[in-house]
Amino acid sequence: MTDSDTGPHRRILQRIAHRAMRERGLLADFSRKVLDELDHIHGPASRMDESTHDLRTLLWCSIDNDDSRDLDQLTVAEPLPGGAVKILVAIADVDAVVRKPSALDDHARHNTTSVYTVAETFPMLPEKLSTDLTSLNVEADRLAVVIEMIFEEDGRLQRSDIYRARVRNQAKLTYNGVSAWLQCDGAIPPEINRITGLDENLRLQDRMAQQLKGLRHLRGALDLETIETRPVFAHDELTDLERETPNRAKDIIADFMIAANGVTARYLTAKGFPSIRRVLRSPERWQRIVELASSLDERLPAEPDAGALEQFLLKRKQADPLGFPDLSLTIIKLMGRGEYVLNLKGETPQGHFGLAVNAYTHSTAPNRRYPDLITQRLIKAALSDDPVPYRKEELKSLAAHCTAKETDAEKVERRVQKSAAALLLESRVGQRFDAMVTGASNKGTWVRLLALPVEGRLVSGFDGLDVGDRVQVDLISTNVERGYIDFAKAGP
């Protein structure tokens, strides 16, 4: 690092993050016009009509990351006769405050997503909204769009409905706390213990989520498990990148949101409305996935088959649980990227290969993602029998823009993550590591260390290597400012 790079790690990484935002064409700060508009918003939305349900007495709760303050959704379960279960998902009515057109909407439309870097979060909406007035905060009355789903005991969807409601979050819970309790690895969180019946409700939610997950995997949904990390700072000095592991509480939210997004997509289609679908096409490099399976003594069909791939993944997870996240990362790289596409009335929708669903949109995080806010406006217009609030060409352009900006945001996050990793590794230049190839193209070859959640470029010895290959590498240099971590293949 140069002299200008000295100082607390967090400050170094924040500066790098702001520069990365600018380089990717993302707005790191809110304009004066946005802030002036924000000054005229003095409270949460409260305007209701006769169709708005009052559901404030239900045992709503939020489950999110330990440090999350932008609460987009609440969940609650209700047992029904015959073993059926009603699941309600409440989505914050962000559109009730962030109107179209407005300066606030223009900013959100430009970035299209909140950007979560190691050093700093760049919210899509100002925190006065996303963590307060449009957030489903605990013990606060809020307007929401509610997706109601009634499932058979085995997880099959019996019927669904969507309507507007007033809700009240009874408990702000965390993934780690709820998961440890559900898996008998920790005590019951005090927020659950103080509310009569919430423990039973969460166990019912957990049971139904596991049913939904199992049913999706029977239909070919892929069981992928990647390594996610969170930064560990001590007095603004980065000390570690800590791995986060999958847990049962995350399954509750993930499976309910997948189901809710499917209901939303089908509802708009039934109403004759367009929708912005989230799709993942058939894998771009299926033949390489077939070769990878063959190297592990498994066979996959010549044409893309989600069910066969899922069975292969299940076998590998049982055979090599420690290496499974690395295999998952390889499969994700070979499948290609998800994208947003416009689906119009009468068109056959494109599906999501990884989730094994044909009807899927993004609708459950309008504080954090602009496609969800678009979908919310479409839903509310359909509920009120109002005209479609967007023109067809506008929606098509927005779908492409949201895909591009999502890519930009991910590149910013990876860029800062690489600088953080370089900070941790700069004292280990010359050391040897076991690694896996995670990218191989004419643009370069990248490897991921097996012992540390760090990825870097292989600058020599890459001939003949492809995604999924294991290799030993020597760390030859790091550059914190540019986020470079360079390796060379070890040995002759």
Strand-pairing partners, residue 432, are 474
- Mean pLDDT lowest for which of 68-82, 306-320, 396-410? 306-320
Distance CA 167, CA 60 (A): 8
Q: What is the pLDDT of residues 291-318, one digit of tens each?
A: 999 988 999 999 888 888 888 988 988 8
What pLDDT is attached to residue 7?
62
pLDDT at 4: 39
Residues 90/167, Cβ–Cβ less than 8 Å: yes
Q: Minimum mean pLDDT among 214-228, 394-408, 435-449: which range?
A: 214-228
Give pLDDT tens digits for 157-207: 999 999 999 999 999 999 999 999 999 888 999 999 999 999 999 999 999
Alpha helices in 164-275 (DSSP H): 175-182, 190-193, 198-218, 248-270
Question: Does residue 10 sit in helix, strand or coil?
Answer: helix
The model's pLDDT over 353-382, given as tens digits with 9 standing for 90+, comes to 777 677 889 999 999 999 999 999 999 999
Peptide bond into 101 cis (omega under 30): yes
376 φ/ψ angles, rounded to the nearest 5 degrees: -60, -40
- How much is the average pLDDT of 56-85? 95
CA distance 368 to 455: 27
More confident residue, 467 or 238: 238
Q: For the chain, where do the domains classified as CATH 2.40.50.140 start and end?
A: 429-492
- The pLDDT assigned to 219 comes to 79
Q: What is the per-residue pLDDT across 216-253, written as a single tens digit (0 to 9) for each?
A: 888 777 777 777 788 888 888 888 888 877 789 999 99
Dihedral of alpha carbons 244, 319, 295, 352, sign: negative
* Residues of the chain above pLDDT 90, percent: 67
Whole-structure pTM value:
0.89
pLDDT at 6: 53
Asked whether the predicted pLDDT for residue 267 surpasses 70, the reply is yes
Q: Is 152 exposed, middle or buried (0-12, 13-18, 19+ CB in 10 A)?
A: middle
Report residue 59's pLDDT band, with 50, 70 and 90 as the boundaries: very high
Mean pLDDT over the full length of the chain: 91
Predicted confidence (pLDDT) at residue 2 exceeds the cutoff of 60: no
Q: Convert the pLDDT of each residue in 89-144 to its tens digit.
A: 999 999 999 999 999 999 999 999 999 999 999 999 999 999 999 999 999 999 99
Segment among 47-61, 64-78, 184-198, 460-474 with least mean pLDDT: 460-474
Better pLDDT: 359 or 86 = 86
Predicted confidence (pLDDT) at residue 422 exceeds the cutoff of 90? yes
- Please, are residues 334 and 326 in contact by the beta-carbon 8 Å criterion? no
Mean pLDDT along residues 30-49 = 94
| C-alpha span between 122 and 266 (Å, rounded) | 32
| Beta carbons within 10 angstroms of residue 299's beta carbon | 9
Statement: 429-492 belongs to CATH 2.40.50.140:
yes
Mean pLDDT check: name the lowest of 201-205, 266-270, 444-448: 444-448
**What is the average per-residue pLDDT within 148-156?**
96
How far CA 158 is from CA of 77, 139, 162, in Å, comes to 15, 32, 14
Q: What is the pLDDT of residue 332?
A: 84
What pLDDT, in 10s, does the model give residues 315-358? 988 888 877 887 888 888 888 888 999 999 888 777 787 776 77
Q: How is residue 100 written in tokens?
A: 């179209």
Give the list of residues 6+ apart from residue 66 with CB closer than 8 angstroms, or none: 174, 175, 176
252-261: b (≥16 Cβ within 10 Å) or e: bbebbbbbbb
pLDDT of residue 132: 97
User: Which run of H or E residues covers position 85?
Assistant: strand 85-92
112 Rama class: left (phi>0) / alpha (psi -120 to 50) / beta: left
The CA radius of gyration of the chain, in Å to the nearest whole number, is 23
Q: Which residue has the higher pLDDT, 336 or 423?
A: 423
DSSP 468: T
